Amino acid sequence: MTDSTPDSAAGSRDPDALRRRAGVRGDPDRDQHFLVDDRIIDRIPGYLPPGTDTAHILEIGGGTGGLTDRLLRTGERVTAIERDPSLAAFLREEFSDEVEAGRLHVVEGDAVEVDLPEFSACVSNLPYGVSSPIAFRLLPRSRPLVLTFQREFAERMAADPDTDDYGRLSVTAGHYADVEIVEVIPPSAFDPQPEVESAVVRVRPRDPDYEVGDEGFFFDFVKALFTQRRKTVRNGIRNTAHISGLSDPEAVVDAVAAEDEDLLRARPGSLAPSEFAALTTIAADHGR
């Protein structure tokens, strides 16, 4: 492989040079937008929380290897998942020394479907189209995450109650971790440029400060109420039994009223995750 543009003097591979060596251009129709701003790529691994175990870093969407290169400098071992067969082959060739040394393993496949390995942390520039399923696969693993999303998705993931962005994604993410946006990335940092801004999210796993007996029912109940986010909780419970799985929503309304009538008058967007947990407990006891 030859390229007239050298990689950086510090030894990091230049993302534009990588893309040329790979012989590819991004394809928006296939959700391919390559992050090519080396200053941003350099910063991303540094957003891992202090003290993170970097023995095995997972990268989803290895692309042409700009971030892969930085992760190999951050961690002892990296697994990169790449769905494009030609890019997976390029990563194995470009990083052949690291592959042979057992420091890089390239998995060819769709990260929504392949078995994820055990990993100590995940740092990834995710394709926009799989943001939600990948986030929901990673969050239950309780590992530090640094993920790049479309900015709108990132803001919903990190939102607080009583804000316009707060919703099902916010409650679900907040159940598993503390989530914060650490950097906004302009479209000009990508090639080809997307039509929207992106944002880097840092996820610090932690246990929730409440208990739920059935986590699956908790998430179903939250999902159900947010389909009626402009309705009161009272009406939401009554109207969404087909989503939440309640067999007797009126019994749930009566039980909640006996404990906290104010909860029934609230709207889902104002409830903290702990309040959803309290409602779920009552619903499980009286309406299933």
| Binding site listing | 33, 35, 61, 82, 110, 125
Q: Is the peptide bond before 187 cis (omega within 30 degrees of 0)?
A: no
| 51 burial type by CB count under 10 A (0-12 exposed, 13-18 middle, 19+ buried) | exposed
The two beta strands, 145-150 and 78-82, are unpaired
Coil/strand/helix, residue 95: coil
The DSSP symbol for 102 reads T
Helix 66-74 crosses helix 15-22 at what angle (to 10 degrees)? Answer: 120
Torsions phi, psi for 31 (to 5 deg): 65, 30
CA–CA separation, 240 and 5 (whole Å):
59
Q: List, in order, residues 6 or more apart from 139 with CB less than 8 Å away.
A: 145, 172, 173, 176, 177, 203
Report the binding-site residues for S-adenosyl-L-methionine. Answer: 33, 35, 61, 82, 110, 125
Q: How far is CA 161 from CA 88, 113, 249, 269, in A?
A: 41, 32, 24, 6
Torsions phi, psi for 13 (to 5 deg): -75, 135
CA–CA separation, 257 and 272 (whole Å):
18
Q: List, in order, residues 6 or more apart from 10 with CB less than 8 Å away.
A: none
CA–CA separation, 79 and 118 (whole Å):
10
